[in-house]
Structure 1
Amino acid sequence: MNYNQKKTLNDIKVNGKTVLVRVDFNVPLKDGVITDDNRIQAALPTIKHLVKNGAKIVLFSHLSRIKSEEDKATKSLAPVAKRLAEVLEQTVKFVPQTRGIELETAIKSLQAGEVLLFENTRFEDVKDGEVVKAESKNAPELGKYWASLGDVFVNDAFGTAHRAHASNVGISENIEESALGFLVQSEIEMLGKGIDTPERPFVAILGGAKVSDKIGVIDHLLTKVDKILVGGGMTYTFMKALGHEIGSSLLEEDKVELAKTYLEKANGKIILPVDSACASTFADVEPTFCGLDVPAGLMGLDIGPKTIELFQKELAGAKTVVWNGPMGVSEFENFKAGTVAVCESAAKLENAFTLIGGGDSAAAAIKLGFRDDFSWISTGGGASLQYMEGKALPGIEAISNK
């Protein structure tokens, strides 16, 4: 996919204009306190550019899923407005509404360089206690209404780029001019560099629980990579396809034939584990190490030491590495060794372009202190996964061309 023809912030004039900016402020909250403000920090370059260039800035975001009126009590963006004001070092006006006269008046009274954040866009998914999904199902009247509030639309929320929501596609389709924010622009450039124009050898590392979650990725990447290293729960569906015993390990019985097909198609490109760290129950206990076969009564919960060695050897000398999905149950202290080792090996590669496709892998790398050792860590797990599948991203498709 080539999104280089899409307008970016540098292609539009914003002075004196009301600029609607879809950001991704879907931050973790505990008792109303933000526990990680990375997503707020990631939006700052776009917001500061608009402030500096005299725009009237209207920010909006979702926060979690809203399934009931009760959810609204704990999922307001009010704490985000407070934190944003601190890191932006200027006043951020918060409007606790998603539509109506209070919001419209506040937007009309904005001066150049001022910033306003309005309430969680997904509050529109529940009306009077009824689940209507106006935002997440892109209700035409909602996208049209939000578009009427400004002159220009900027999409800087990569985390929702794979969805057609009222707050991205709905607005884009109803406004004269739209552009990508700096964060989304960087995401597209980096994913393109890693997946579409990789320097070789190109090695992909795929983990996670299910083959079904990664079918599209495997399919697409097999045409591009030199090797795919497979770990995580999805390993055992492949091992079953090869006729190995897998004990009580995670298995997608209906995907065994598909796994066989991929192994044949791969022609040696798919590298599977040669041993596993196992346990008799899904619990953080001392591991038992098994070879290619997992005996009855045991389940594989991580790649084993021989596989770690094998994967390190396969990664040595790689010039492009794309990683998506943990190698085991990395939240268990006894079963995180595989994920840690793969993370360290990729992070320490010299003169290589290393990319993490968001989600659990990104969380693991950041937690382990390797944030600055990767070329790029995506902010959107679902969107980067869809990009890896070679599928279009509706939130970006809808943006104006240059």
Structure 2
Amino acid sequence: MATSIDDLKTTMDMMAQQLAGVQDLAKQFEKMMTMTLDKLNDLEAWRSIAETSMGSMMQQSKETMMRLRQLETLTQSGSVADYQAQFEKLAHEILLYNPAYDYVYFVKRFLAGLKEEIRAPIALHRPRDVETVSALALLQEEELSAAKHKPFGRGFTKGLARATTEKVGAGGQGLSRLKCRLRCSQLQLSTNSVHNKKEKDKYSCFDQSTSYLHVQSLRDFPTEKLSGEVVVVRLDSSLILGHLGPCTSSLERALLTIKYLCKARAKVVIATSWDTIFQSDNPVIESVGSFAEYLSSLLQVEVIPVDGEPGLTSFKQEEWAQNSIILFENLVNFRGEVANCKDFSQKLASGATIFVNDSFSLSHKILASTVGITCFCYASLAGFHFEEELMQLIKITDTTRRPYIAIIGGSNFLRKAPALQMLTSLCDGLFFVGKLSFQIMNGLGMTVPSQFIERNAVKEVLQIIQVARDRNVPIYYPTDLWCLKNDGSKTLGVISSNGQLAGWTPVDIGPSTLEKISSIIPSYEKILWIGPTNYDLTETFSVGGTQLGEILEKATDSCDVVLVGSAACKEIKRKTDSSSQYTEFQNATVVWEFLKGRILPGIAALDKCYPYRIPWSTVFCEPTLPLVVDIGSGNGLFLFQMAKSCESSNFLGLEMNEKLVIRCLQGMASDEKRNLYFVSTNATSTFRSIVSSYPGQLTLVTIQCPNPDFNKEQNRWRMVRRMLVEAVVDLLHTNGQVYLQSDVESVLLVMKEQFLSYSKGQLVTDGDGDHRIDNPFGVVSDWERHVLARGAPMYRTMLKKI
């Protein structure tokens, strides 16, 4: 008997060595040996237990090794999105069997599988987590696609450098927000209509490249949730100090944001910055104390300045009187602001739960006070001024009012080429002034002095001219110029643009050019003026800009006028005190970056909302039936079965993966019952905006087996956040239920704890609280079926609203 037992132990030791590389299974083996020691006297019983246990463990080992081999050989053959989906699926399954693998391994594997032209530039930036490397891969793919299909495409080097900073600077939360893709597809009534491209385009709500622009605003945030909360407001000091002239409407909106928060009984903290060099003669900014006094006079509320490093840790709470406002020190004085330092961002947000960005002019920058801070607040919203400016920015590309002409000035054609390409594809007329006009004139074959030509932009110029010709878009340029004689006499003269400019320096557009502009303006319904008209970019000679301002001021009565840049805004304001007749953007950089198709990090960091109201009467046959929402619906198999078995309810699936949603919509196109629908969205931030318009009652919300987050082990399945919980609880009908399920018990416990904690007593456990309850629906999800098939348990709980 002893020999037989020794033989068995030897065999088991050999098998244990085979499992040595699989940490979790080795622990199971040790546990099994301990539990079966009492069976050693019964050799047959011990052998049976050992064989059963080892068979199960070996099967798991084989599964793990198979997934590892698949991951090691996985390469990108199609799009980055397809490769990412395959990679995440395999990584998720590997972590289920063995959670020992860290994010470094997954980052290396993800990089190794990418195509060479995508991998090489990304590797230079040394991404530290899967989320970052996947976001950069998507960006690189977009850049390569743009370079291939768009004639104005630039190389990836500079584009990625900027985009990388924007993406990575936003932190993990900002990145996940930037990956969010929103889509609202109307339900088609036949299979043919689903595959009909024309119908698909008709019902596509918006271009995905600008989906990040639809953000949650303070206006739509529940007022009652502001009471007692510490809210950090990023204020635009230029609106307060008015160094560009009076900004009445913008200033009123900025002040309204703060007054609105105070009225809602929120504890307001203001973070802002101002230039101490260009405004050194302004007594308001001598110190944070003087700025606080000026703010107090505008708001009629006490503003308490905080000297030193921003943050509430050193501020005495007892000094925070009711309705008083805290003002942090000038952020320009801290390096962490421009560096988007994580520690500095955390100090800015210390004690705060909500962030409100009202500094739209900084949207193109990556700052701790506009991007980094959002990682430490559960809600990041747009203030009233920010919201209005964003709406106006989107309207620049709106072509409902046509014909549409753009008057484009300034210099540096190469840097602005992507934006100029965008305007060429949008507008019905282009009038180039300033140094940009010389590049166009040269491209059209006119004689231009060599010192005025950007030789590295010739290719881009010719491409834009070709696009304009293909679209029959007229291109205008100056017919004459005000010029300054080079002999030092400061003599001014008007010279034809196709004449000899030797001995003269162009300074501004001439009278004939202005007459031409005046003659063609009445033919257009919408006008965009972006960039200065003069050539030396100084204000010494600004005759052309002044007269152009007069022309456009008269045109505001009959058409929409959009002014971009301080030069354009100043010229119009000299003629009129009212800004209601036109749309203005003091900071031209934000608009140029937007027209280039770049991601504006200050906007991308904010929470997203669903921008469209779903037509429930079209989506469902009976839109007043009780609604069941499955968050993270995946391939939709669970909802397909639920919709068939329960026709007395409507079912809505919310899923981030757009391809899965399209597949689900196509799969249900021939279903005449129409009690099922899918939307591609990030439910964490858009659940409220989607479900709040439903005419019936929300009776059930399900969250099943959330996908892992590879960056941090403790957050691998982090899906439930405060914003989502509050939205679900607010919209859930009394006695409505929340069903939570996971194949990892700790994940279920965390989700349950968050729902019970953030619901503030409105949710209770429905039943005895056991986490091993049977599936209450009789319908299993795809992943649940997979888990049960390998003999693993599922952990479930049901919560009820009281």
TM-score range (shorter-chain normalised) is 0.7 to 0.9
Q: Which residue of 2 aligns with 1:71?
A: none
- C-alpha distance in 1, partners of 2:287/2:586? 21
After superposition, give the CA deviation of every residue in 1:119-171 in whole Å (9 maximum; x if it has no partner): 1112112xxxxxxxx21121122112212231200000011111121111101
Q: Which residue of 2 aligns with 1:210?
A: 412
- C-alpha distance in 1, partners of 2:468/2:289? 50
CA drift at 1:331: 4.8
- C-alpha distance in 2, partners of 1:368/1:64? 28
Matches within 5 A, 1:27-176: 38=247, 43-64=254-275, 76-99=287-310, 104-106=314-316, 109-125=319-335, 134-176=336-378
- C-alpha distance in 1, partners of 2:417/2:489? 29
Tell me, yes or no, if the aligned pair for 1:217 and 1:388 is still in contact at 8 Å. Answer: yes
CA drift at 1:317: 3.4
- C-alpha distance in 2, partners of 1:203/1:331? 25
Number of matched residues? 382
1:16 aligns with 2:228: yes
Matches within 5 A, 1:214-229: 214-229=416-431
Q: The residue matched to 2:371 in structure 1 has which SS?
A: helix
Q: The residue matched to 1:209 in structure 2 has which SS?
A: coil
Kindly tell me: are residues 354 and 235 of structure 1, through their superposed partners in 2, closer, same or farther at Cα, counting changes over 3 Å? same
Tell me, yes or no, if the aligned pair for 2:232 and 2:270 is still in contact at 8 Å. Answer: yes
Q: Which residue of 1 aligns with 2:604?
A: 397
Kindly tell me: are residues 373 and 144 of structure 1, through their superposed partners in 2, closer, same or farther at Cα, counting changes over 3 Å? closer
Q: Which residue of 2 aligns with 1:130?
A: none
CA drift at 1:265: 2.1
Kindly tell me: are residues 64 and 332 of structure 1, through their superposed partners in 2, closer, same or farther at Cα, counting changes over 3 Å? closer
- C-alpha distance in 2, partners of 1:166/1:113? 26
Q: Which residue of 2 aligns with 1:288?
A: 493
CA drift at 1:395: 0.7
- C-alpha distance in 1, partners of 2:294/2:488? 37
The residue identity in structure 1 corresponding to 2:496 is G
Kindly tell me: are residues 305 and 100 of structure 1, through their superposed partners in 2, closer, same or farther at Cα, counting changes over 3 Å? closer
Kindly tell me: are residues 374 and 252 of structure 1, through their superposed partners in 2, closer, same or farther at Cα, counting changes over 3 Å? farther
Instruction: Decide which structure has the larger Cα Rg and report it.
Output: 2
CA drift at 1:339: 1.2
- C-alpha distance in 2, partners of 1:319/1:289? 31
Kindly tell me: are residues 180 and 379 of structure 1, through their superposed partners in 2, closer, same or farther at Cα, counting changes over 3 Å? farther
Q: Which residue of 2 aligns with 1:241?
A: 443
Tell me, yes or no, if the aligned pair for 1:158 and 1:380 is still in contact at 8 Å. Answer: no
Q: The residue matched to 1:222 in structure 2 has which SS?
A: helix
Q: The residue matched to 1:57 in structure 2 has which SS?
A: strand
Q: The residue matched to 2:258 in structure 1 has which SS?
A: helix
Q: Which residue of 1 aligns with 2:579?
A: 372
Tell me, yes or no, if the aligned pair for 1:15 and 1:54 is still in contact at 8 Å. Answer: yes
After superposition, give the CA deviation of every residue in 1:63-92 in whole Å (9 maximum; x if it has no partner): 2389xxxxxxx8754443222222222221
Tell me, yes or no, if the aligned pair for 2:432 and 2:478 is still in contact at 8 Å. Answer: yes
- C-alpha distance in 1, partners of 2:352/2:489? 52
After superposition, give the CA deviation of every residue in 1:194-238 in whole Å (9 maximum; x if it has no partner): 323441111111111332343232011111111121111222222
Matches within 5 A, 1:318-337: 318-328=524-534, 331-332=538-539, 335-337=541-543
- C-alpha distance in 2, partners of 1:210/1:181? 33
Q: Which residue of 1 aligns with 2:215?
A: 6
The residue identity in structure 1 corresponding to 2:520 is E
Tell me, yes or no, if the aligned pair for 2:311 and 2:348 is still in contact at 8 Å. Answer: no
Q: The residue matched to 2:364 in structure 1 has which SS?
A: coil
Stretch moving more, 152-161 or 375-384 = 375-384
- C-alpha distance in 2, partners of 1:116/1:283? 55
User: Bigger relative contact order, structure 1 or 2, given CA contacts below 8 A and separation 6+?
Assistant: 1
Kindly tell me: are residues 388 and 266 of structure 1, through their superposed partners in 2, closer, same or farther at Cα, counting changes over 3 Å? same
Kindly tell me: are residues 229 and 26 of structure 1, through their superposed partners in 2, closer, same or farther at Cα, counting changes over 3 Å? same
CA drift at 1:282: 11
Kindly tell me: are residues 353 and 382 of structure 1, through their superposed partners in 2, closer, same or farther at Cα, counting changes over 3 Å? same
- C-alpha distance in 1, partners of 2:426/2:350? 43
Tell me, yes or no, if the aligned pair for 1:81 and 1:117 is still in contact at 8 Å. Answer: yes
Stretch moving more, 8-17 or 234-243 = 234-243
Tell me, yes or no, if the aligned pair for 1:236 and 1:251 is still in contact at 8 Å. Answer: yes
Of the three residues 351, 355, 359, the one matched with 2:566 is 359
Runs of 5+ consecutive residues of structure 1 not aligned to the other structure = 67-73, 126-133
Tell me, yes or no, if the aligned pair for 1:58 and 1:116 is still in contact at 8 Å. Answer: yes
Tell me, yes or no, if the aligned pair for 1:154 and 1:179 is still in contact at 8 Å. Answer: yes
Q: The residue matched to 1:63 in structure 2 has which SS?
A: coil
Tell me, yes or no, if the aligned pair for 2:244 and 2:566 is still in contact at 8 Å. Answer: no
CA drift at 1:34: 7.1
Kindly tell me: are residues 197 and 212 of structure 1, through their superposed partners in 2, closer, same or farther at Cα, counting changes over 3 Å? same
- C-alpha distance in 2, partners of 1:201/1:359? 25
Q: Which residue of 1 aligns with 2:554?
A: 348
Q: The residue matched to 1:299 in structure 2 has which SS?
A: strand
Of the three residues 379, 382, 385, the one matched with 1:183 is 385
- C-alpha distance in 2, partners of 1:372/1:209? 27
Kindly tell me: are residues 373 and 105 of structure 1, through their superposed partners in 2, closer, same or farther at Cα, counting changes over 3 Å? closer
- C-alpha distance in 1, partners of 2:458/2:524? 30
Q: The residue matched to 2:228 in structure 1 has which SS?
A: coil
Kindly tell me: are residues 152 and 373 of structure 1, through their superposed partners in 2, closer, same or farther at Cα, counting changes over 3 Å? closer
Kindly tell me: are residues 63 and 174 of structure 1, through their superposed partners in 2, closer, same or farther at Cα, counting changes over 3 Å? same
CA drift at 1:251: 3.5
Kindly tell me: are residues 279 and 106 of structure 1, through their superposed partners in 2, closer, same or farther at Cα, counting changes over 3 Å? farther
- C-alpha distance in 2, partners of 1:283/1:374? 42
Tell me, yes or no, if the aligned pair for 1:194 and 1:353 is still in contact at 8 Å. Answer: no
- C-alpha distance in 2, partners of 1:149/1:283? 62
After superposition, give the CA deviation of every residue in 1:257-306 in whole Å (9 maximum; x if it has no partner): 32222222221432111111111249894421111324211122111111
CA drift at 1:337: 2.4
- C-alpha distance in 2, partners of 1:213/1:373? 32
Of the three residues 504, 507, 511, the one matched with 1:301 is 507
Stretch moving more, 323-332 or 5-14 = 323-332
- C-alpha distance in 2, partners of 1:380/1:282? 36
Kindly tell me: are residues 275 and 190 of structure 1, through their superposed partners in 2, closer, same or farther at Cα, counting changes over 3 Å? same
Tell me, yes or no, if the aligned pair for 1:284 and 1:332 is still in contact at 8 Å. Answer: no
Sequence identity (%)? 25
Q: Which residue of 2 aligns with 1:278?
A: 483
- C-alpha distance in 2, partners of 1:264/1:367? 38
Runs of 5+ consecutive residues of structure 2 not aligned to the other structure = 1-209, 278-284, 610-802
Stretch moving more, 168-177 or 367-376 = 367-376
TM-score normalised by the chain length of structure 2: 0.44
Q: Which residue of 2 aligns with 1:25?
A: 237
CA RMSD of aligned residues (A): 2.9
CA drift at 1:187: 0.7
TM-score normalised by the chain length of structure 1: 0.85
- C-alpha distance in 1, partners of 2:251/2:592? 22
CA drift at 1:364: 3.1
Q: Which residue of 1 aligns with 2:463?
A: 261
CA drift at 1:239: 2.2
- C-alpha distance in 1, partners of 2:294/2:308? 19
CA drift at 1:112: 4.4
Tell me, yes or no, if the aligned pair for 2:485 and 2:491 is still in contact at 8 Å. Answer: no
Kindly tell me: are residues 189 and 332 of structure 1, through their superposed partners in 2, closer, same or farther at Cα, counting changes over 3 Å? closer
